[in-house]
């Protein structure tokens, strides 16, 4: 049956009349309702106006009709697919729409200009489908809040243009294809249906389904339109330019057009078809260019990054999760692979919650042989199973130190630890945390075990600990940092001092089990032997006291500590191969060997016998000069060791003022000085207060924060400055300069520390700097501002740099000593001054972004000879005036390969607290054990790092001391002092008060000393360093920022009675800050 033009027009016009007629009616009722409300003439227009009103039913005049309101709410709930019936209804509508589309495909095989009879079996089926669509359309229309918006929705347009022609076909007893191809647009509901059926769950799969449905629906709908117009021809030509085109050919033409290929074998001949092709080509370019590549990427990445990692027996691997970004992965691979010697035999599996970016993919491809990326989350067991977490050597969790919300970052990482430990309790976890108070949550996890290698790298604790050490001893911050950074950049020094500094960067902290031939020897004897024979600097050991289960790290132990079997030693050396000499040493085979390279593994049967210590020649009597011949390598007896351990220096220091007038108060651990809680208003300084103390030799800490800023944890800065191995008189006043609102939030963590003051103000205001007497401070520390969301990471150090600029513009007026006159004593010489000169205020600046170092270099007016290099190659860093915590990322690899090194670092920078100490303190608290006086005293009697002058301290009595090796042996033999580095003037010829010094870590044995050198020393607790007659006239120390000023004769090795008196003067108090708050927050 041929369809006449009138029949075709009836099918087309019924759809357009329904659409535009309904739209006009809706607009008319909208206008009527608007004007009726405006003139307040609306009194009720019945149900019709209520149905077409814009607002919710609660705001309509008919809101009192309870039945209609309940009915509408039920319809909304039904259509939202939140109930089983609603889900079934949504699925049924989609299935019937696909069925109606299939019927269209079947009918499209017939010529378009032919009408099928009503006796066709597909006609009643399609009619029944459209009856259901009409019912569903009515429900949606009733529940719609905005009727006009609903009328213009894509699903509504599909129903309006496909449902009326079906009823017209029933009336005319004939059926025509018409606009039924629009049913293909119902494929846009495919993602919703798949989510209801729980076929797709991830965001990537949902996105892929949406893109796929857009492409397919557009493809089929465009092919249907071309199939219609090409077979019907242009209406104004009565179809004379029509052509026979099947639906498949129309799909082929659309595909060629979308792909911009255009073979030309099938083309559009009608004007309507060609016009459609023009606009469709423009739209398809955008669609094809955006959707298809994204679909391919999602499809390939989904397959590429969901493949599980297969653990192979004998092949080790680790899992890295958390902050997986380009910067974090680059830094991790650089640091982690540096520890691998030779071929890499360990796989690295990155578990990221998002697919990698193109830049990250490039980095991973460069390491494709030993890296693998898996898209997933450590919070789900399925993803942990895909990475074979139960077989991993360890799981390393990275943190983002530049995030704006530090607590949120820590909480997310702690949740990852919980998930990993719940999945596999024996998996070793090493986590990075940003704030120290979050450490306590990890220790409360039942399966967290320090002894199996679980470890925490707390950025705030270590960062502020480094800065605090730099405030105690100038240059110490740089000294400790150089032991953990990796220098791979090629640099050509231009000045002699740069050569010394660059050579010192090669030294690292390394560990090695000591030879059993050292069993029974004292630490000074073993350290001296390693230094002379092997060119190794042994600085600490892992010691397990008798009748005690806890191992402890001891820096420079006294002669009373005897080495046991398999003692672990900590060395400052250049390579792991070098420290193996300490393990291979044999007292029989290597007794007369003085070339380090010749000390290798031997097959001697007596290698297990106890070795004797090296000889130390001591000048007996009351002479002030001690002689140490480093070239004489004889061995001493145990009696000589006992003599050295009990030697006193009363003949040199005079009267001993060991017992303080007031008892020293320590916390319950004995590690820190303590005081009773001090109210905040008692420590606030006022600018014009006459009772304000005149600070001298104090520490000024500039803090940038406000009432909304994240807490940086100032307690971590104060604790090393209040370590108990310094006496109460040696403690320096700490003056915090910043916003009072911020310190009010921090004060509850600081209220039990003595000698702390707060001055409300800003380091950007010169008047506030003068008010805290910054000219007389020993060190000014500028702490980086708390994290803030910024558009550029280059601006994170703006306040810090501005404060540095402000402080460096200040100058201290200092007298210049007259040249020495023959016949005049040194003391009288330095009491006369020729003129006054000026020097800068000692400063230590923290930078979050290391690339901002060039601002600091320009301020100092220094010749930046290593221009373009990293922060750790800058002049400011070599001097110890700048610090950046970016190197802390390398500690993650260090903790994995050798967690003992991390323990030593934590002990050095935090004031003595190590993970073992924390564990012991927690156990003591849980069992209600109170440390006795002997335990507290033993914890307090630990070494401290200080700077000593060669001419005005006890080091001046060592002869000869022309080289560092002679100084090392002499100080260790005579006083038990361990010399580890030098703080040397850059230009010795420059005779002014602004001597710029640089750090030399572990100088060579034959390094010649200069008279102006200062020495980094590990000094025993009870050893005095300064002579009484020389402390007041020590110009070398007066010109150095923050050299610890000791009371004359304050510390020395005293008699047993004096030591007992000192112990009795130290009282232990139960400090909530460290036994409760510190471990249970």
Which phi and psi (to 5°) does residue 460 adopt?
Answer: -65, -40
Residue 928: predicted pLDDT: 47
Residue 820: predicted pLDDT: 41
Helix (H) / strand (E) containing 164: helix 154-172
For the stretch 774-832, pLDDT in tens is 999 999 999 988 877 665 677 888 899 999 999 988 876 655 444 443 333 333 333 33
Which has more pLDDT, 691 or 343? 691
Q: Which of 476-485, 573-582, 625-634, 721-730 has the lowest mean pLDDT?
A: 625-634
Residue 66: predicted pLDDT: 55
Burial 239-263 (b: 16+ CB within 10 A, else e): beebeebebebbbbbbebbbeeeee
DSSP state of 396: E
Q: Which of 165-169, 372-376, 856-860 has the lowest mean pLDDT?
A: 856-860
Which has more pLDDT, 1079 or 574? 574
Provide, rounded to the nearest whole percent, the portion of the chain with pLDDT above 70: 76
Which has more pLDDT, 67 or 707? 707
Distance CA 879, CA 997 (A): 6
Distance CA 512, CA 381 (A): 39
Q: Which of 179-183, 389-393, 804-808, 1064-1068 has the lowest mean pLDDT?
A: 1064-1068
Characterize the bridge pairing of strands 1014-1019 and 978-985.
antiparallel
Where residue 427 falls among pLDDT bands split at 50, 70, 90? very high
Residue 214: predicted pLDDT: 87
Residue 303: predicted pLDDT: 66
- Decide if 467 contacts 477 (C-beta within 8 A): yes
Provide, rounded to the nearest whole percent, the portion of the chain with pLDDT above 90: 28
Tokens read off for 890: 């390398």
DSSP state of 705: -
Asked whether residue 274 carries a pLDDT value surpassing 80, the answer given is: yes
Tokens read off for 805: 């600029």
* Planar angle of CA 871, 845, 400, nearest 5 degrees: 65
Which has more pLDDT, 933 or 952? 952
Strand partners, 509: 572
Q: 178 — alpha (psi -120 to 50), left (phi > 0) or beta?
A: left
Asked whether residue 701 carries a pLDDT value surpassing 70, the answer given is: yes
Asked whether residue 1020 carries a pLDDT value surpassing 70, the answer given is: yes
Tokens read off for 269: 């001949």
Mean pLDDT of 871-890: 87
**Which residues lie below 8 Å from residue 129, measured CB to CB, with a gap of 6+?**
96, 99, 100, 103
Where residue 2 falls among pLDDT bands split at 50, 70, 90? low
Where residue 125 falls among pLDDT bands split at 50, 70, 90? confident
DSSP state of 426: T
- Decide if 554 contacts 938 (C-beta within 8 A): no
Asked whether residue 401 carries a pLDDT value surpassing 80, the answer given is: yes
- Decide if 626 contacts 970 (C-beta within 8 A): yes
Under DSSP, is residue 508 helix (H, G, I), strand (E, B) or coil? Answer: strand
Tell me how far the alpha carbon of residue 943 is from its chain's centroid. 31
CB neighbours (10 Å) of residue 61?
A: 14
Which has more pLDDT, 1069 or 708? 708
Residue 1045: predicted pLDDT: 36
Where residue 130 falls among pLDDT bands split at 50, 70, 90? confident
CB neighbours (10 Å) of residue 1017?
A: 26
- Decide if 583 contacts 511 (C-beta within 8 A): no
Mean pLDDT of 67-71: 65
Output the CA–CA distances (angstroms, integers) from residue 83 to 77, 80, 88, in the order listed: 7, 8, 9
Closest CA to 1019 of 472, 462, 543: 472
Residue 458: predicted pLDDT: 92
Residue 628: predicted pLDDT: 41
Residue with the two structure tokens 């291979």: 584
Mean pLDDT of 520-530: 93
Residue 255: predicted pLDDT: 84
Q: Which of 20-34, 764-778, 1055-1069 has the lowest mean pLDDT?
A: 1055-1069
Distance CA 798, CA 855 (A): 10
Where residue 75 falls among pLDDT bands split at 50, 70, 90? confident
Closest CA to 429 of 539, 337, 319: 319
Distance CA 599, CA 585 (A): 6
Where residue 1000 falls among pLDDT bands split at 50, 70, 90? very high
Residue 626: predicted pLDDT: 37
Residue 338: predicted pLDDT: 73
Residue 528: predicted pLDDT: 93
- Decide if 710 contacts 786 (C-beta within 8 A): yes
Closest CA to 1069 of 930, 887, 924: 930
Report how far apart the first and last C-alpha atoms of the chain are (Å, whole number). Answer: 87
Which has more pLDDT, 652 or 841? 841
Residue 302: predicted pLDDT: 60
Strand partners, 552: 543
Residue 656: predicted pLDDT: 32
Asked whether residue 1043 carries a pLDDT value surpassing 70, the answer given is: no
Highest mean pLDDT among 108-117, 180-189, 619-628: 180-189
Residue 794: predicted pLDDT: 74
Closest CA to 553 of 915, 891, 888: 915
**Radius of gyration of the chain, Cα coordinates, nearest whole angstrom:** 41
Characterize the bridge pairing of strands 568-573 and 537-543.
antiparallel
Q: What number of H helices and E strands is found in the chain?
A: 40, 28
Residue 112: predicted pLDDT: 63
Whether residue 881 is preceded by a cis peptide bond, meaning omega within 30 degrees of 0, is no
Strand partners, 570: 511, 540
Distance CA 496, CA 988 (A): 11
Highest mean pLDDT among 478-487, 544-553, 600-609, 711-720: 711-720
In whole numbers, what is the pLDDT of the chain averaged over residues?
78
Which has more pLDDT, 1022 or 421? 421
For the stretch 176-230, pLDDT in tens is 777 888 888 888 888 888 888 888 877 778 888 888 888 888 888 888 888 888 8
């Amino acid at each position: 049956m041929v369809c006449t033009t009138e029949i075709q027009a009836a099918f087309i016009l019924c759809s357009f009349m329904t659409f535009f007629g309904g739209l006009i009616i809706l607009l008319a009722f909208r206008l009527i309702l608007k004007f009726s409300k405006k003139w307040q003439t609306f009194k009720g227009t019945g149900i019709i106006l209520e149905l077409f009103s814009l607002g919710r039913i609660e705001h309509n005049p008919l809101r009192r009709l309870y039945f209609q309101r309940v009915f509408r709410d039920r319809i909304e709930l039904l259509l939202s697919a939140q109930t089983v019936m609603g889900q079934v209804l949504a699925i049924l509508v989609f299935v019937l729409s696909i069925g109606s589309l299939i019927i269209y495909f079947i009918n499209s095989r017939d010529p378009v200009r032919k009408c099928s009879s009503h006796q066709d079996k597909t006609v009643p089926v399609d009619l029944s489908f459209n009856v259901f669509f009409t019912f569903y359309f009515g429900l949606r229309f009733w529940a719609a809040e905005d009727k006009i918006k609903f009328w213009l929705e894509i699903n509504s347009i599909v129903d309006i243009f496909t449902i009326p022609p079906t009823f017209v076909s029933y009336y005319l007893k004939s059926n025509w294809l018409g606009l039924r191809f629009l049913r293909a647009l119902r494929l846009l509901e495919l993602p919703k249906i798949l989510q209801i059926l729980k076929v797709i769950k991830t965001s990537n799969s949902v996105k892929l389904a949406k893109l796929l449905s857009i492409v397919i629906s557009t493809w089929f709908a465009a092919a249907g339109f071309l199939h219609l117009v090409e077979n019907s021809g242009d209406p104004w030509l009565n179809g004379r330019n029509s052509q026979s085109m099947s639906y498949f050919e129309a799909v082929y033409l659309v595909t060629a057009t979308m792909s911009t290929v255009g073979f030309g074998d099938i083309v559009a001949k009608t004007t309507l078809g060609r016009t459609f092709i023009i606009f469709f080509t423009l739209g398809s370019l955008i669609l094809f260019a955006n959707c298809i590549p994204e679909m391919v990427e999602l499809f390939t990445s989904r397959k590429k990054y969901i493949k599980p990692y297969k653990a192979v027996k004998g092949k080790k691997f680790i899992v890295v999760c958390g902050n997986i970004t380009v910067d974090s992965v680059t830094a991790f691979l650089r640091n982690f692979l540096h520890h691998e010697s030779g071929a890499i035999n360990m796989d690295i599996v990155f578990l990221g919650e998002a697919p990698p970016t193109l830049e990250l993919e490039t980095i991973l491809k460069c390491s494709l042989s030993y890296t693998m990326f898996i898209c997933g989350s450590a919070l789900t067991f399925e993803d942990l199973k895909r990475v074979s977490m139960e077989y991993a050597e360890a799981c390393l969790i990275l943190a983002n130190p530049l995030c704006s919300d530090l607590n949120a970052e820590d909480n997310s990482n702690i949740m990852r630890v919980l998930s990993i430990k719940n999945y596999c309790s024996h998996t070793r976890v090493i986590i990075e945390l940003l704030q120290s108070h979050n450490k306590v949550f990890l220790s409360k996890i039942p399966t967290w075990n320090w002894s199996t290698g679980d470890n925490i790298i707390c950025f705030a604790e270590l960062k502020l600990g480094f800065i605090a050490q730099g405030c105690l001893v100038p240059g110490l911050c740089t000294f400790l940092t150089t032991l953990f950074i990796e220098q791979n950049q090629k640099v050509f020094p231009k000045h002699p001092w740069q050569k010394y500094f660059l050579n010192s960067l090669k030294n690292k902290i390394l560990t090695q089990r000591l030879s059993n031939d050292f069993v029974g020897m004292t630490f000074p004897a073993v350290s001296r032997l390693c230094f002379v024979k092997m060119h190794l600097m042994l600085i600490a050991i892992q010691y397990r006291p008798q009748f005690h289960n806890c191992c402890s790290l001891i820096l420079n132990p006294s002669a009373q500590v005897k080495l046991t079997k398999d003692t672990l030693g900590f060395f400052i050396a250049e390579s792991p191969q070098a420290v193996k000499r300490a393990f291979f040493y044999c007292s029989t085979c290597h007794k007369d060997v003085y070339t380090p390279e010749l000390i290798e593994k031997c097959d001697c049967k007596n290698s297990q016998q106890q070795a004797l210590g090296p000889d130390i020649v001591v000048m007996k009597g009351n002479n002030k000069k001690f002689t140490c011949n480093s070239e004489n390598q004889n061995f001493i007896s145990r009696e000589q060791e006992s003599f050295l351990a009990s030697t006193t220096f009363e003949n040199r220091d005079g009267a001993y003022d060991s017992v303080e007038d007031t008892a020293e108060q320590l916390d319950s651990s004995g590690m820190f000085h303590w005081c009773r809680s001090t109210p905040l208003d008692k420590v606030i300084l006022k600018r014009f207060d006459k009772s304000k103390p005149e600070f001298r030799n104090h520490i000024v800490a500039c803090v940038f924060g406000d009432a909304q800023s994240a807490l940086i944890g100032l307690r971590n800065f104060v604790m090393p400055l209040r370590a108990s191995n310094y006496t109460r008189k040696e403690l320096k006043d700490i003056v915090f300069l910043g916003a009072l609102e911020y310190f009010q939030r921090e004060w509850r963590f600081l209220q039990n520390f003595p000698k702390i003051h707060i001055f409300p103000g800003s380091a950007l205001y010169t008047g506030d700097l003068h008010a805290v007497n910054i000219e007389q401070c020993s060190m000014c520390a500028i702490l980086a501002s708390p994290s803030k969301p910024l558009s550029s990471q280059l601006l994170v150090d703006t306040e810090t740099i501005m404060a540095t600029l402000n402080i460096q513009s200040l100058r201290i007026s200092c007298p210049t000593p007259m040249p020495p006159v023959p016949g005049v004593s040194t003391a009288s010489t330095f009491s006369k001054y020729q003129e006054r000169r000026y020097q800068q205020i000692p400063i230590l600046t923290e930078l979050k972004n290391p690339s901002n170092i060039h601002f600091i270099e320009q301020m100092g007016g220094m010749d930046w000879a290593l221009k373009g290099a990293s922060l750790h190659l800058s002049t400011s860093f070599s001097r110890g005036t700048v610090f950046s915590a970016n190197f802390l990322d390398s500690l993650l690899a260090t903790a994995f390969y050798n967690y003992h090194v991390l323990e030593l670092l934590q002990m050095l920078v935090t004031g003595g607290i190590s993970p073992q100490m924390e564990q012991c303190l927690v156990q003591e608290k849980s069992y209600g054990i109170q440390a006795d006086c002997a335990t507290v005293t033993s914890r307090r009697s630990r070494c401290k790092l200080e700077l000593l002058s060669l001419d005005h301290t006890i080091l001046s009595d060592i002869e000869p001391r022309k080289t560092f090796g002679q100084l090392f042996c002499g100080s260790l033999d005579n006083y038990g002092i361990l010399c580890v580095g030098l703080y040397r003037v850059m230009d010795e010829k420059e005779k002014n008060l602004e001597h710029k010094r640089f750090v030399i870590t572990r100088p060579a044995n034959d390094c010649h000393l200069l008279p102006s050198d200062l020495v980094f020393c590990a000094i025993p607790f009870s050893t005095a360093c300064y002579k009484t007659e020389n402390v007041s006239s020590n110009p070398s120390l007066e010109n150095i920022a923050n050299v610890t000023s000791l009371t004359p004769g304050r510390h020395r090795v005293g008699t047993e009675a004096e030591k007992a008196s000192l112990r009795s003067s130290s009282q232990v108090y139960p400090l909530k800050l460290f036994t409760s708050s510190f471990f249970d927050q």
